Chain A
């Protein structure tokens, strides 16, 4: 599943919280589960990459 190009970290987190709430409420159709879990994984990966990139840049601060 492809994430929107203009996706921000904040948007991604917001979407993850929406998914969690929906799962919490138990009103997710089984048929939709696959897609929802895939989207969650993509969003988590996206957020992790963002954080790792920031982390690398923080480390890079030493070199300036």
Chain B
């Protein structure tokens, strides 16, 4: 699991890669939060296009970033979800706190 961070036009794009579980989320979360703290983006996009597996730790990852952004006044988008990841997110009602999309991401990845 890894994350690539790109900051452009007040938007922080977080490209997640690999499997998301309890073991892999801690370092990613620290990376993203550090970058949010220093860039103060208006929008954070969590791009799941290259995520191959996700359990409820992924929900924690999204909810946690939502909380951070809520305090700083930014919005959260989640893109590129596979059918399985989308199923997990919907179960948690995350579609109520973030803009959640299946399939291709904002930057054209499929």
**Pair from one complex:** no
Interfacial residues, chain A to chain B (CB-CB below 8 A): none
